[in-house]
Structure 1
Amino acid sequence: MFMKLLILIIYFAVMIGIGLYCRKHATDVNGFVLGGRSVGPWLTAFAYGTSYFSAVVFVGYAGQFGWKYGISATWAGIGNAIIGSLLAWVVLGRRTRIMSQHLNSATMPQFFGERFGSSALKIGASVIIFIFLIPYTASLYNGLSRLFGMAFNIDYSVCIILMAVLTAIYVIAGGYMATAINDFIQGIIMLFGIATVIAAVLNSKGGFMAALDGLAKVSDPAVTDTPGIFASFFGPDPLNLLFVVILTSLGTWGLPQMVQKFYAIKDEKSIKKGTIISTIFALVVAGGSYFLGGFGRLFSDEIDVAANGYDSIIPTMLSGLSPMLIALVVILVLSASMSTLSSLVIASSSTLTIDFLKDNFIKDMSDKKQVLSIRILVVVFIAISSILALIQYKSSITFIAQLMGVSWGALAGSFLAPFMYSLYSKRVTKASCWVCFIFSSVLMIANIFFRSSFPTIMQSPINCGAIAMLAGLVIVPVVSLFTPKPDKELVESAFKCYDKKTTVEQKTALGD
């Protein structure tokens, strides 16, 4: 117990120290929200990866989908690496960095406002972010409760308050740069922790081949009578697994806290390196998490999913590890959650200040006042999410936890298509953005209250969210065909940033 506490104290001290060290980078809005747009490839790639994967993935999704789909759940991690990281960087990275700087936008709503010359569109986007990021933020605490109880025998409320206070300190002090540096350290812990835990769990079952053989012998008549299905390539339910891959992979393309990482990256070379680093990180962390979860049914004699839920699967799998490994797992999950939490609160507070309060409610808001407002709202958002997490814990309400999937679907469904198309096409209209915003938000809210009325395949928030994203990719171009063309001068002004001449080395491009 002494060693566990010592490791935690050292970890917390480093986080706070980095926050205080980075104060010099957080004196204006550009520095606080984007780190002065000078963040290198390693920090950006790790910030992207650690914001992507939280305790929700490691404890919740890995356990749930590993139990449902067996070893084939690993496809979700592979999809996260290829679609959610590699393709996201290739398709969005450069163009986002160039156009966001050209339009002088620090947030996604600000980008929409400048790109389409519409303050109403900016406010609409900021309202969607405000509504749906809070339940997402609250859900980050869910994966920690059982692990902290198992490792430290302390009340979960203490864990929530501790995590909230420490995250608030280093975010308020150092802004985005402190978050990026801490994300790098947290990312290293996650990489090392995942690899170590997988090796230890498989070893406890006789090694990889013995564990895979054991999984092939597992049967569940409630799922399927096919022998060896949980050790097969595509598992018992390939269609629903595909929706999981789409939601958790394609979703990153439209999440404000993810896309914002591209705003801050330093240069072309950083984008190329960051693409590779981010992909490898996702393959190890996400692939490893889902791969580990795929062996959950080997512990079915110790797990009562009906009574304790899917969140009990991963903690039960880890409960037999050595005390030092359990301490490592707690730090791993704490790192994953704190990195995502810090990213979410910066996205929420900066959006509410820059896109909602500034000019609309507070006129002539100076740079200094904006930074102060963002810092105050960081405290507010962390406090609200902590209170929601405590309410859920004390009253055993599962409703808040379910909102994680709804939040992800609403945000990505609303923003993915309008944002991506507006980086590439001059034909995208303001009306198509509004239709996509309204369609996805209403669809996901309706899924909360009228889920039983939905078609069977859409009753799952995950499937519904994936459908919202895919629908947006059709809605934006179709509505753009039948609505008034955007102002030509405004569009040309936005796209001229891509025509700027730049000199590169011959290895990058041949001369005349």
Structure 2
Amino acid sequence: MIEKLIMLAVFFAVMIVAGVLTRRHARSVEGFVLGGRRVGPWLSAFAFGTSYFSAVIFVGYAGQFGWKFGLSAVWIGIGNALLGSLLAWWVLGERTREVTRRLGASTMPEFFGKRFRSQGLRIASAAIIFVFLIPYTASVYNGLSRLFTMAFGVPYEVCVIAMALFTCVYVVLGGYMATVVNDFMQGVVMLAGIVAVVCAVLAQNGGLVEALGQMAAVSADGSAAPGALVSVLGPDPFALASVVLLTSLGTWGLPQMVQKFYAIESKRAIRKGAVISTVFALVVAGGSYFMGGFARLYADQVPFVAEGRPAFDAIVPAMLQGLPDLLVGLVVVLVLSASMSTLSSLVLTSSSVLTLDMLRQVGPLGRMSERATVATMRGLVAVFVAVSAAIALVQYHGSIAFIAQMMSVSWGALAGSFLGPLFWGLFSARVSKAAVWASFACGVGITLGNMAVPFLGSPITAGAAAMLASLAVVPLVSLVTKAVPFEVRPVRGPEAVDAAPCRQSGDGCA
């Protein structure tokens, strides 16, 4: 216990020190939100990866989908690396950086407002972000706190409150630069931790060959034939494909992920960051799902709920229960690193869009000074942390949903609303306001409609469907409605992306 507490004390101390040391970068709006757009490839890539993978992946998804799909769950990690990281950087990275600098956009709603010359789109997208990031944030608290309870016997409520306080302190102090500096250090812990945990789980089961042999003898749900859980595509390829699509393509439309491209310093840094981010995803996501693929070997240690279904959120903690204390401490720091990096990114995104894209666009608040705006964002960081922590506590005691469901609802609504408008808005001059509104309606409508009447089944399938619908709806509606004029060709010359950005309100800056 002493070793675990020392590791945690060092971890929290490093976070606060990073916030103090980077506070000078957070004095202006652009500094607080984007680190002055001068963030290098290593910090940007690790910030992307650590924002991508949290306790939701390690505890919620790895346990649930490892149980359902067996070793084929590794395809989710591969999809996260290739589609969710590598292709996202290659396709969106450079273009997003160039266009957002040309428009002078610091947030995704500001991009929509200036690209499509619509104040309504800006405010609506900010509202969608603020509302649907809350369940995702609550799911991050949930996953981490379950591991804390397992490792330390600390009440769930204490874990949630402590995590909220420490995240709030360093984000308020240093803004974006504090988050990316901490993300880098936390990413190193995640890489080392996941390798150690995978090796330990295999060792518990007699090594890789012996563990595979044991898994081959286990039957999947609904099938009497053994071997499906070690097959290439697993027992349910369609459901597996839906998870790959949701968790991989989703990064293309999530504001907290795309924001990393706004802040990176150069085109060369984007090319380097793509490689770093992909390797990070292969190790962390691939390792997590590979470990989760052996979940069935711990069936006698996993609690079951109604209808014979295992408590998915309890699977990974059960797998780690028998590890040596020092390794358990490392696991806790690993998941703490993943969760707090994701949490800091979410709260910073939420506070910035609420301040810049909603409060400053209405009434007398629109005349706030730079200093007052930064102070407001700092205050809203605390508000968002408090609200999401309260929801996490209500969810835990009310048993509203398990982790994967909460994340799926958030990702489905956000990426289902924004993926099409962002992608086509960056690369096509033939996009209309009506098409963007239609995409927003599809993303939110499909997600909420499926919650009320599950016509698409699980929130995961609904989220994947919403993303594909967004990509299709935008060009189709744009064919029959008036496009917003915009010069899609990049500005040429060395001064193109480093010139002072256009700040004309409502202007496309073409």
TM-score (norm 2): 0.94
Query: In the alignment, which residue of structure 1 is the partner of 2:501?
Result: none
C-alpha contact 2:23 2:175 (8 A) present in aligned 1? yes
Write the distance in 2 (CA, Å) between the matches of 1:399 and 1:217.
28
**Counterpart residue number, 1:433:** 436
Please name the residue that 1:459 is paired with: 457
- Partners of 2:392 and 2:81 in 1: CA distance: 29
| Residue pair 2:151, 2:332 contacting (<8 A) in 1 also | yes
Q: Which amino acid aligns with 2:261?
A: F
Which residue of 2 is the match for residue 68 of structure 1?
A: 68
Query: Which residue pairs with 2:232 in the alignment?
Result: 233
Residues 60-459 of structure 1 aligned to structure 2 (within 5 Å):
60-220=60-220, 222-306=221-305, 309-361=311-363, 362-398=365-401, 402-451=405-454, 454=455, 458-459=456-457
Q: How many angstroms apart in 1 are the aligned matches of 2:232 and 2:96?
A: 36
Q: Could you give the per-residue CA deviations for residues 259-312 of structure 1, whole angstroms, max 9, x where no partner exists?
A: 000000011111111000000000000011011000000111222333661011
Structure 1 residue 108 displacement after superposition:
0.1
- Pairing 1:27–2:19 present: no
The one-letter amino acid paired with 2:481 is T
Report the counterpart of residue 499 of structure 1 in structure 2: 491
Structure 1 Cα separation of the partners of residues 304 and 292 of structure 2: 14
Residue 9 of structure 1, CA deviation = 0.5
**Matches of 1:262 and 1:443 in 2, distance apart?**
28
Structure 1 residue 225, shift from structure 2 partner: 2.6
CA–CA distance in structure 1, aligned partners of residues 441 and 248 of structure 2: 22
Q: Secondary structure at the match of 1:247?
A: helix
**1:65-111 deviations in Å (ceiling 9; x for gaps):** 00000000000000000000000000000000011011000000000
Distance in 1, matches of 2:257 and 2:167, equals: 18
CA distance, structure 1, for counterparts of residue 139 and residue 79 of structure 2: 22
Q: Secondary structure in 2 aligned to 1:459?
A: coil
The CA distance in 2 between the partners of 1:153 and 1:359, in whole Å, is: 47
Which residue does the alignment assign to 2:504?
none
Give the conservation status (yes or no) of the 8 Å contact 1:58–1:333: yes
**Structure 1 range deviating more: 222-231 or 235-244:** 222-231
Tell me what 1:510 maps to: none
Question: In structure 1, how many angstroms separate the alpha carbons of the residues matched to 2:404 and 2:190?
Answer: 23
Is the aligned partner of 1:10 residue 2:27? no
One-letter identity of the residue aligned with 2:367: D
- Cross-structure match for 1:486: 484
**Partner Cα separation in structure 2 for residue 138 and residue 262 of structure 1:** 25
Q: Contact 1:126–1:351 at 8 Å: present in 2 too? A: yes
CA drift at 1:236: 0.2
Taking the aligned partners of 2:384 and 2:108, their CA distance within structure 1 comes to 18
Rounded to whole Å, the distance in 1 between the matches of 2:482 and 2:380 is 38
CA apart distance, 1:503: 9.6
Q: 1:404 offset after TM fit, Å?
A: 2.1
Deviates more, 1:297-306 or 1:168-177: 297-306
Name the SS for the 1:363 alignment partner: helix
Matched residues in 1 for 2:285 and 2:324: separation? 23
Judge conservation of contact 2:60–2:404 (CA < 8 Å) in 1: no
- What is the deviation of 1:227? 2.4
Say whether the 8 Å CA contact 2:302–2:311 is kept in structure 1. no
Asked if structure 2 preserves the Cα contact closer than 8 Å seen for 1:305 and 1:312, the reply is no
Contact map agreement 2:71 2:229 (CA 8 A) in 1: yes
Q: Deviations over 1:141-190 (max 9, x none)?
A: 11123311221111111111111000000000000000000000110011
Q: Given that residues 72 and 293 in structure 2 are in contact (C-alpha distance below 8 angstroms), is that contact kept between their aligned partners in structure 1?
A: yes
Distance 2:53 2:321 in 1: 22
What is the CA-CA distance between 1:36 and the residue it aligns to?
0.4
Query: For residues 122 and 5 of structure 2, what CA distance do their matches in structure 1 show?
Result: 45
1:481/1:347 CA distance change after superposition, 3 Å: same
Equivalents in 1 of 2:343, 2:362: separation in Å? 27
| 224-233 vs 16-25, which moves further | 224-233
Aligned-residue offset at 1:366: 1.4
CA contact (8 A) 1:135 1:400 kept: no
Is this contact kept in 2: 1:142–1:401, CA < 8 A? Answer: no
Q: Residue 392 of structure 1 contacts residue 400 of structure 1 at CA under 8 Å; is this kept in 2?
A: no
> Within 1, Cα distance between the matches of 2:263 and 2:186?
19
1:471 matches 2:469: yes
Distance in 1 between residues matched to 2:189 and 2:168, nearest whole Å: 21
Give per-residue Cα distances to partners, 1:425-451, cap 9 Å, x unaligned.
000111101000011101111111222
Instruction: Tell me the alpha carbon deviations over residues 36-78 of structure 1, each in whole angstroms, 9 at most, x when there is no partner.
Output: 0000000000000000001000000000000000000000000
In structure 2, how many angstroms separate the alpha carbons of the residues matched to 1:395 and 1:84?
33
Distance 1:272 1:393 in 2: 42
CA positional deviation for 1:399: 7.2
Distance (whole Å) between structure 2 residues aligned to residue 239 and residue 134 of structure 1: 29
Per-residue CA distance 1:339-388 (angstroms, 9 max, x = gap): 00000011000001111011313131211111011100000000001111
The 8 Å contact of residues 55 and 333 in structure 1, kept in 2 or not, is answered as yes
Q: Which whole-Å CA distance do the structure 2 matches of 1:363 and 1:461 have between them?
A: 38
Cα drift, residue 400 of structure 1: 8.1
- Residue 499 (structure 1) shift: 3.0
Report the CA distance between 1:401 and its aligned residue: 6.8
Aligned AA (1:317):
M
Deviation of 1:396 (Å):
3.5
Paired amino acid for 1:73: A
Q: Which residue identity does 1:394 align to in structure 2?
A: H
* SS of structure 1 residue aligned to 2:224: coil
Q: How many residues align?
A: 492
Task: Name the CA distance, whole Å, in 1 between partners of 2:484 and 2:36.
Answer: 31
In 2, Cα distance between the equivalents of 1:171 and 1:503?
32
Matched, 1:36 2:36: yes
Question: RMSD across aligned C-alpha pairs, in angstroms?
Answer: 1.4
Give ranges in structure 1 of 5+ residues lacking alignment.
Answer: 505-512
Whole-Å Cα distance in 2 between the matches of residues 483 and 226 of structure 1? 54
Q: Aligned partners of 2:366, 2:90: CA distance in 1, in Å?
A: 39
